[in-house]
Structure 1
Amino acid sequence: MLQFAANLSMLYQELDFLDRFKAAATDGFKAVEYLFPYDFKAVDIAERLNAHGLQQVLFNASPGNWTAGERGLACLLGREGEFCQSIDQALEYAVTLNCPRIHVMAGIQAEGHSYETLMELYVQRLRWACKLAAKKDVDILIEPINTRDMPGFFLHRQDRAHAVVVAVDMPNLKVQMDLYHCQVAEGDVAMKIRKYVPTGHVGHIQIAGSPARHEPDMGELHYPYLFQVLEELGYVGWIGCEYRPLRGAVPGGTSAGLQWLKPLV
């Protein structure tokens, strides 16, 4: 049976962040993920996880200055110190939250620097991060993100992400395969699932409807079929529900849009 995790950065926004854990558990989720936990103490988050019987399965390392448009530090020249600090910080949270995965965002490609130069830097930094994370039994994840939503994002194709995994050559580097981003950037999602899941490189999957990133049963992607493909391939990882609820805008909040999930949990 497939396993679904609530993304608390996007779901239950009608509630304060620390109240979203209870809501997710009430709706049947057994696990949660979110973007960044750093506005809260790790012990306070751990208390909510324990109180509601939830697993923390993923969060992101700091992306730099998000409000200024930064979307990761891993490929940014001259940001070595901040990158290292972001990994140290993320691992501290991961240990407290018993979280086995950290997503490290690549960043926006800087103008005036070649792809090859930035890729060399990216690979070096990921290798360093993986070595450090391995000591804590934590996986580092990289995610291709479509350039419609994040113009200029350095890593935006599945094939490039898997090539990075090969180049870094560390067993705890995995790909975070977001099927929404895959559809927007490339399409042919089912065949990409069939190609990449059997490699063992896919450490986490995320879903949303396309093209508007609402509930998975809305839009052009037929998730019942994609879920069938994942089950056929024996995928046993988590599937993060990282979408913007549309039906949740009506009374009942996010929970009102979870009809698609109920037959699956």
Structure 2
Amino acid sequence: MSTLKFAANLSLLFTERPLIERFAAARTAGFNAVEIQFPYDLTLEQIKQALDTQQQTLVLINIPAGDWAAGERGLACIPGREDDFSAAVDQAIDWARALSVPRLNCLTGIPPASAPEKQVERTLIHNLKLAATRCAQAGIELMLEAINTQDMPGFYLNGSAQTIELIQRLELPATRLQYDVYHMQIMEGNLISTLQQNADKIGHIQIADVPGRHEPGTGEINFTNLFKALEHLGYSGHVSLEYIPKGQTEDGLGWLKTWMTQD
């Protein structure tokens, strides 16, 4: 019997329904844990009621990342937006406290082409120290995620070693790597080796296959070996399904039956 715990990302799964209805759909599919990239279009009351009704936990949300429609993918590395980033951190912490969310993901963003590199770095350092300190004070773990530069050209953090080095160099409290298997397969491969070498530095794992960002079994990643490696490492966090289903969400969950142990 598998020891792994799985969570459904409600921003990408069950999108045949409005977001508020996806909690129930996930519970019917067997998930007692969910995550949402940006839950802020709903109200706290709506989400709390859905979680209570479905007896689910919300294991992760993202810090607001700016104007997504305008191309912003995070505010942490954008000079001149420090006040906006600070407000986004406070909002996310308020939501995490209200909904008992144990960790927040920070997208560092894409620096403006016109901004000097040193200014971008100073801005990022200031913002990450602020976010990590506030999260630590609130008893919340801060995640930093590396994202591939094919899907998101110019994204500041795009590798595991780069992200871990930054966390260690800045001595960020309560901060770990959010390891996204999809992004890291594209950028660096060596998934199992990276997990083995950095098990204590990884706070959350997300999965999707490559290419296409679809469910396991649709691409090149050997998820059986990957999951066995996570079990061997004693990984106790959640493995979140953050993929784009090729068809209806429920039709693509057959691969999970071997691994799903939650009730």
Structure 1 residue 243, shift from structure 2 partner: 0.2
- The C-alpha deviation readout for 1:190-211, integer Å capped at 9, x for no partner, is 11111111xx211100000111
Aligned with residue 258 of structure 2, among 256, 259, 263: 263
Q: Quote the offset at 1:135 in angstroms.
A: 2.1
Aligned equivalent of 2:192: 190
Q: Distance in 1 between matches of 2:213 and 2:99?
A: 28
Q: Distance in 2 between matches of 1:118 and 1:192?
A: 28
2:37 to 35, 46, 57: 35
Q: Match of 2:201, as an amino acid?
A: H
Moved over 3 A (4+): 112-117
Alpha-carbon separation, structure 2, partners of 1:192 and 1:262: 26
- For 1:113 and 1:201, locate their aligned partners in 2 and report how far apart those are by CA, in whole Å: 31
Which of residues 17, 20, 31 is equivalent to 2:19?
Answer: 17
Match of 1:212 in 2: 212
- Give the TM-score, by structure 1 length: 0.94
In the TM superposition, what is the alpha-carbon distance from 1:218 to its structure 2 partner? Answer: 1.4
Task: Please give the secondary structure, in 1, of the residue aligned with 2:59.
Answer: strand
- Name which of structure 1's ranges 115-124 and 95-104 shifts more when overlaid on structure 2: 115-124
Query: What amino acid maps onto 2:154 in structure 1?
Result: G
AA at the equivalent of 1:192:
T
State the structure with bigger RCO (CA 8 A, min sep 6), 1 or 2. 2
How many angstroms apart in 2 are the aligned matches of 1:121 and 1:141?
A: 18
State how 1:125-136 maps to structure 2 within 5 Å.
Answer: 125-136=127-138
Q: 2:121 aligns with which of 96, 119, 122?
A: 119
Q: What are the equivalent positions in structure 2 for 1:76-225 lying under 5 Å apart?
A: 76-197=78-199, 200-225=200-225
In the alignment, the residues of structure 1 paired with residue 154 and residue 172 of structure 2 have an alpha-carbon distance, to the nearest angstrom, of: 26
Q: Distance in 2 between matches of 1:160 and 1:188?
A: 15
Instruction: Indicate the residue corresponding to 2:238 in structure 1.
Output: 238
Q: Give the percent of matched residue pairs that are identical in Structure 1 and Structure 2.
A: 40
The answer on whether the counterparts of 1:124 and 1:168 sit within 8 Å (CA) in structure 2 is no
Taking the aligned partners of 1:123 and 1:237, their CA distance within structure 2 comes to: 27
Q: Equivalent residue for 1:254?
A: 249
How much does 1:119 deviate? Answer: 2.7
Q: TM-score, normalised by structure 2?
A: 0.95
- How far did 1:212 drift? 0.7
- Give CA-to-partner distance per residue, 1:20-71, whole Å, 9 cap, x none: 0011011111100111011111121011011101110001111111000000
Residue identity matched to 2:251? A
Question: Structure 2 CA distance, aligned partners of 1:126 and 1:2?
Answer: 30
- The SS at the match of 1:135 is helix
Matches of 1:207 and 1:79, distance apart in 2: 31
Please list the CA deviations of residues 118-145 of structure 1 after superposition, one character each: whole Å capped at 9, or x if unmatched.
Answer: 2332122111111111222111111000
Distance across 1 between alignment mates of 2:95 and 2:76: 19
* Ranges in structure 1 where 5+ consecutive residues have no aligned partner: none
Equivalent of 1:70 in 69, 72, 82: 72
Structure 2 CA distance, aligned partners of 1:238 and 1:119?
31
Distance in 2 separating the partners of 1:222 and 1:235: 18
* Secondary structure, aligned partner of 1:260: helix
Q: Secondary structure at the match of 2:226?
A: helix
Structure 2 portions without partners, runs of 5+: none
Q: 1:116, CA displacement in angstroms?
A: 4.4
**Secondary structure of the corresponding residue to residue 44 of structure 1:** helix
For the aligned residues, what is the CA RMSD? Answer: 1.1
